[in-house]
Structure 1
Amino acid sequence: MSSSVAHPQSDTGRRRWRLVGPGVVAAATGVGAGDLVATLVAGGEYGYALLWAGVLGTVLKISLAEAVGRYHLATGSTVFAGWRSLGSWTTVYFACYVVVWGFVYGAAAMTSSALPLAALFEGLDLRTWAVLSGLVGLAFVWFGRYGVFEKVMTACVGVMFVTVVGLAVLVVPDVPALLGGLRPRLPEGSALYTLGLVGGVGGTITMAAYGYWINAKGWRDASWMRVMRWDNRVAYLTTGLFVLAMLVVGAELLHAGGIALASGDRGLLDLDAVLRERFGPVVSTLFLVGFFATAFSSLLGVWHGVSLVVADFVANLRRPMGQEAAERVAGGGAERSWPFRAYLLWLTFPPMGLLFLDRPFALVVAYGVLGAFFMPFLAGTLLWLLNGSRTPAEHRSGPVSNVALTLAALLFVVLCADQVRELLA
């Protein structure tokens, strides 16, 4: 349960900054090592030309997360209860998605957290560090409470900020070129890559978890709407700043030097080698610490946030349709419930088997296809829920929100189709 007990109408000025929290958690979770690599590669390939795409992506994510938070506060319900009201197809899709996605993501998150640790400490191999990362994340979320979780995630964002923004300052950005990157244009061969940059940074199932985090904070009704919107903007402006900083690093270090990175999280180890050669071991070591903060905060956020969504999923299945709003499942008791802890175990132990095996082809395809459909699913269902009778009239989406959600839905449909095509090719 949150310690934020003051009435939201009194939360102005300095107090508003003290209330910020769920958005910081969402930013720390949504920006993983893979997102940093994608942004680095964008800067390395096209310099500052795709900066506008990162800005557009930030605006769309603000709109999506605001829509999730608004639904929770306006209806007194949860986003999964809303999905369930749309028909049984949402329950079937989510059940398949969360099982397969969690199995594969668990292995990926543990490996991502282990990469900088293995580079910093050579006594243990990558798999051992991955297992330890998963076990530490499990123990922290299992025994912790939301308040402590939020403080740790905020500390991780602080480390990320110092590392990522510090690197951008260190490489000395070309300010005229940076400002020129705000003009929308598509370099040759960059169309789908640009769509991926718009849609990729900070966009996962953790956007749905944002509503559960604001409830865990103690924000339970429409009187917290203004505070939630402030919190959400801070979160995604922080995400946008990370995008800007990594584009600067990619443009100045990689594009200018003609350097290519390995794909996936390992690309950050390539960047570490570049930093070590150019700036020395101190900067390289600080970067690896920031790399770990980025990867491990994503692990913690998924372990906590998606487990809350799953706890709500199970609670909804156990009560009759139409009674979804009768019980709030977000924080408090949910963090001690058996569905929450069962999904924590699912994220941790079965994926450890994938650390010692090549991922089966069919599992990779299923993971990719189900994951590709999630963001179109989220944007489309939010449009449906926030423009109908399920949401009180005064909190339904207006023209600006509807345009943003529609653009996001169309973008994610295109990205989904392209990803499915690549997976099945």
Structure 2
Amino acid sequence: MSTSGQTGTSTAQTPRWSLIGPGLVVAATGVGAIDLVATLVAGSKYGYALLWCVVIGCVMKVVLVEGVGRYTLASGKTIYEGWSSLGWWTTAYFGPYIVVWGFVYGAAAMAGTGLPLHSLFPGLSVTQWGILSGLIGAALVFAGRYGIFEKVCAALVGIMFVTMVGAALVTVPHLPDMVTGLVPTIPDGGILYVLSLAGGVGGTITLAAYGYWIREKGWTTPVHMRLMRIDNRVAYVVTGVFVIATLIVGAELLYSAKIAVETGDQGLLDLSNVLADRYGQTMGTFFLVGFWAAAMSSLIGVWNGVSLMFADFVGHARKLPVDDPQRGSSGPWYKAYVLWLTLPPIALLLIGEPVWLILAYGVLGALFMPFLAVTLLWILNSDRVPSEWRNKLWSNVVLGLIAIAFFVLAVNELRTKIADAL
């Protein structure tokens, strides 16, 4: 594995804030356009009633990401090594998943970046802008230079944060209602919004990529455990503020005026139009830039992080040592998956996505979060990690609740995907 990023030995030697990075990358990658729209729709339907779900969602993701990071540092192995130690069934699931997921996600990610760029610069179509974004993203991460990649992600997070928090401040949030929204309640018909909002705060497969990013950063042993935990918590505080700001916009701008937005990326274009009508074209344009930053950060995060996971997956299958360069960002399998995310999905953008492929994508994707929660419970309560780094009671309780919540979401997602396909 490459460790081209800066190494960290103690917060006393290096300023703490300069050490934060991989967590911000995983959070930025996970909060994409679809997550923002889900939060906006929740705010537009229920006001602040589901604000508490955002907090719960951030806690859930902190626990999951910390578990991935703790296993990586305590064992000296990658998360895929941990999964493979549980039996053949993990490979039987993960192998098809990472191949199908990458093919479909590549097209979706490129289209997501194309929408705001087309609105800002209509000279090119959504598809043309999407393809160009995918090629730029591939060029950026192809060499596997983590330090450059992390800095670009941090810049995009800054743009996302400023635009969404700025939009929230412009709408003048109603603080008493926000406080009330921190009390757990489930409005009529809101149970799936509760689970989706909690589950959508900050990523799916990219949560597992965190273990690879900390290795790229140079954090490879239990000595870095404290740095990893600081990094993870700071990242999800930033994510929480960002998603709360999105909910505020939905509650103040849409709920109060009874304005509906579409699902999918189109919902953010709807919101930019609402902001432009209410506060002027400059505000609408400002928000479109933030929309692009959210979409682009997800694209390059996946192009880098999931490609690292694929390289590790192939390297394990070929029985290469865990520190073999071919299992990292300098190896051919990393680069091959970057191209897999970029080139074949262009065909989906041009001709459309077949129903069978979308069904497979939906089924495999819906199962990933329960898979991650259950396997972390298994791995972190076993002798695969030294006893001092195994789960404590509270970690087991939270991971158990997460597994149940995501299982319910998975069942609902599968039912919806199958119904849509039929």
Q: TM-score, normalised by structure 2?
A: 0.97
Q: How far did 1:334 drift? A: 1.6
Give 4+ residue runs of structure 1 displaced > 4 Å after superposition: none
Task: Tell which deviates more after alignment, 97-106 or 138-147.
Answer: 138-147
In structure 2, how many angstroms separate the alpha carbons of the residues matched to 1:157 and 1:228?
Answer: 19
Q: How far did 1:151 drift? A: 0.4
Contact 1:308 1:329 (C-alpha < 8 Å) held by counterparts: no
Distance 1:55 1:291, change over 3 A: same
The corresponding residue for 1:340 is 334
Long gaps (5+) in structure 1: 321-325
In structure 2, how many angstroms separate the alpha carbons of the residues matched to 1:44 and 1:265?
Answer: 16
Please state whether the residue corresponding to 2:203 is helix, strand or coil: coil
In structure 2, how many angstroms separate the alpha carbons of the residues matched to 1:112 and 1:6?
Answer: 35
The corresponding residue for 2:6 is 4
Task: Tell which deviates more after alignment, 195-204 or 368-377.
Answer: 195-204
> Aligned-pair RMSD on alpha carbons?
1.4
Distance 1:174 1:182, change over 3 A: same
Size of the aligned set, in residue pairs, is 417
The corresponding residue for 2:348 is 354
Q: How far did 1:4 drift? A: 2.8
The corresponding residue for 2:247 is 247
Counterpart AA for 1:395: W
In structure 2, how many angstroms separate the alpha carbons of the residues matched to 1:204 and 1:318?
Answer: 26
In structure 2, how many angstroms separate the alpha carbons of the residues matched to 1:192 and 1:420?
Answer: 13
Counterpart AA for 2:12: S
Listed one character per residue, the Cα deviations across residues 71-112 of structure 1 (whole Å, up to 9, x for unaligned) are 000000010000111111111111110111111100000000
In structure 2, how many angstroms separate the alpha carbons of the residues matched to 1:358 and 1:391?
Answer: 45
The corresponding residue for 1:323 is none
Alignment of 1:125-140 (within 5 A): 125-140=125-140
Counterpart AA for 2:295: A
Q: How far did 1:144 drift? A: 4.9
For the pair 1:273 / 2:268, whether they are aligned, the reply is no
Counterpart AA for 2:151: K
Please state whether the residue corresponding to 2:381 is helix, strand or coil: coil
Contact 1:312 1:329 (C-alpha < 8 Å) held by counterparts: no
Q: How far did 1:11 drift? A: 5.1
In structure 2, how many angstroms separate the alpha carbons of the residues matched to 1:116 and 1:204?
Answer: 23
Alignment of 1:132-151 (within 5 A): 132-151=132-151
Alignment of 1:124-273 (within 5 A): 124-273=124-273
Please state whether the residue corresponding to 2:328 is helix, strand or coil: helix
Q: How far did 1:27 drift? A: 1.1
In structure 2, how many angstroms separate the alpha carbons of the residues matched to 1:33 and 1:288?
Answer: 11
Q: How far did 1:192 drift? A: 1.4
Q: How far did 1:309 drift? A: 0.4
Contact 1:44 1:260 (C-alpha < 8 Å) held by counterparts: yes
Listed one character per residue, the Cα deviations across residues 290-329 of structure 1 (whole Å, up to 9, x for unaligned) are 1111000100000000000001101111118xxxxx4236
Q: TM-score, normalised by structure 1?
A: 0.96
Long gaps (5+) in structure 2: none
Listed one character per residue, the Cα deviations across residues 6-40 of structure 1 (whole Å, up to 9, x for unaligned) are 5226357xx11110000111111010011000000
Listed one character per residue, the Cα deviations across residues 387-413 of structure 1 (whole Å, up to 9, x for unaligned) are 001110000010111111111111110
Contact 1:9 1:223 (C-alpha < 8 Å) held by counterparts: no
In structure 2, how many angstroms separate the alpha carbons of the residues matched to 1:201 and 1:368?
Answer: 19
Listed one character per residue, the Cα deviations across residues 337-386 of structure 1 (whole Å, up to 9, x for unaligned) are 11101111110111111112231111111100000000000000000000
In structure 2, how many angstroms separate the alpha carbons of the residues matched to 1:9 and 1:261?
Answer: 45
The corresponding residue for 2:399 is 405
The corresponding residue for 1:315 is 315
Distance 1:33 1:329, change over 3 A: farther
The corresponding residue for 2:378 is 384
In structure 2, how many angstroms separate the alpha carbons of the residues matched to 1:192 and 1:284?
Answer: 30
Contact 2:261 2:270 (C-alpha < 8 Å) held by counterparts: yes
Please state whether the residue corresponding to 2:329 is helix, strand or coil: helix
Q: How far did 1:3 drift? A: 4.7
Listed one character per residue, the Cα deviations across residues 133-163 of structure 1 (whole Å, up to 9, x for unaligned) are 1111111111350000000000011111100
Of 371, 374, 380, the residue aligned with 2:368 is: 374
Distance 1:16 1:404, change over 3 A: same
Task: Tell which deviates more after alignment, 1-10 or 134-143.
Answer: 1-10
Counterpart AA for 2:375: T
Counterpart AA for 2:323: R
In structure 2, how many angstroms separate the alpha carbons of the residues matched to 1:385 and 1:327?
Answer: 18
Contact 1:203 1:375 (C-alpha < 8 Å) held by counterparts: no
In structure 1, how many angstroms separate the alpha carbons of the residues matched to 2:11 and 2:352?
Answer: 54
Contact 1:387 1:397 (C-alpha < 8 Å) held by counterparts: yes
In structure 1, how many angstroms separate the alpha carbons of the residues matched to 2:367 and 2:324?
Answer: 25
Listed one character per residue, the Cα deviations across residues 189-232 of structure 1 (whole Å, up to 9, x for unaligned) are 10112111111121210000001000100000000000000000
The corresponding residue for 1:328 is 323
Please state whether the residue corresponding to 1:36 is helix, strand or coil: helix
Distance 1:3 1:263, change over 3 A: closer
Contact 2:366 2:410 (C-alpha < 8 Å) held by counterparts: yes
Counterpart AA for 1:28: A
Aligned identity (percent) is 57
Listed one character per residue, the Cα deviations across residues 146-193 of structure 1 (whole Å, up to 9, x for unaligned) are 000000000011111100111111100000000100000011110112
Q: How far did 1:416 drift? A: 0.5
In structure 2, how many angstroms separate the alpha carbons of the residues matched to 1:173 and 1:65?
Answer: 31
Counterpart AA for 1:327: V
